[in-house]
Amino acid sequence: MSGYFTEGHKKLMLFSGRAHPELAEAVAKELGTELTPTVARDFANGEIFVRFEESVRGADCFVMQSHAQPLNKWIMEQLIMIDALKRGSAKRITAILPFYPYARQDKKHRGREPISARLIADLLTAAGADRIVSVDLHTDQIQGFFDGPVDHMHAMPILTDYIKERYPLDNLMVVSPDAGRVKTAEKWANALGDAPLAFVHKTRSIDEANKVVANRVVGDVEGKNCVLLDDMIDTGGTIAGAVGVLKEAGAKSVLIATTHGVFSGPARERLSQCGAEEIITTDTLPQSTEGWDNLTVLSIAPLLAKTIHEIFENGSVTTLFEGQA
């Protein structure tokens, strides 16, 4: 079977980079199609070569790449794939970035700093992307960095449905890891039966990456089963520290929920030993539960497949998360 399906005169083609092919295959299965056969290899000096083995002329093309380590390599590969589609006369090119790279660099904290999240959007535009799909952007303003349509999807229903199925809601409390996430925490609280809210006051170093100190809890968490949420967890220091602060404040248990499990360096050790009952994440990035005692990985593929289908059909992507965003 070829890597596309047609409806009327339209043709959908799905492509995957090499960073996380398992997710792309799961999305293709949800769509009832297959990935377009692609040749991708590295030259001895690190240059990337890509060629598609079927004609893309006039097709509605969707290029998936999850930006795990080595992140910069996978960014370049996706840009090259988009360029190849543009030069192959694709009708429309949608770049799917389940985890948007450089999302934390969305503004200048001091002089002579880049806004790298904007640079990524500019690079996608220059390569030939007409549209972007991403999941739980670090900040909403990133949508404005791209001149074309941006479909900002939300993993919250996937995560909250899992929690509702497995944990009693009567003693649940939603905790934001900082004051900036309180608005998101409010949506979670509504989804989890109007649960009460708290947040952790923290300070962040502008000189050292991944340097955050959790200070104290704002809100009464004593005796509560706390759901501690964040959009991404990198080295795990912030969240592990927040778990400690919640425990010291009398929390009965702590459940961690995050969309993007980056889990760099010491993250596994920190999160396994921090006292959290369970860490729940999605597969926007490649994940393995090996070596973890408390990690659960939920599939984001159905959400991405529905998004692709709505875009292809010129339907409403908003209906997929209306009332959730």
Catalytic residue numbers?
Answer: 202
- Chain position carrying tokens 């006039």: 58
168-207 burial string, b = 16+ CB within 10 Å, else e? Answer: eeeebbbbbbbeebeebbebbbebbeebebbbbebeeeee
How far apart, in whole angstroms, are the C-alpha atoms of residue 120 and residue 84?
Answer: 18
Q: Where are the beta strands (DSSP E) in 123-209?
A: 131-135, 150-153, 172-176, 197-204
**Which 8-state DSSP code applies to residue 283?**
B
Residues 6+ apart with CB under 8 A from 193: 164, 169, 172
Burial class (CB in 10 A: 0-12, 13-18, 19+), 299: middle
The two tokens of residue 37 are 């056969």
2 contact partners, CB below 8 Å, separation of at least 6: 34, 36, 54
Using alpha carbons only, give the angle 294, 152, 38 rounded to the nearest 5 degrees.
80
Tokens (6 digits) for 181: 């996430």
Closest among 68, 26, 70 to 48, alpha carbons compared: 70
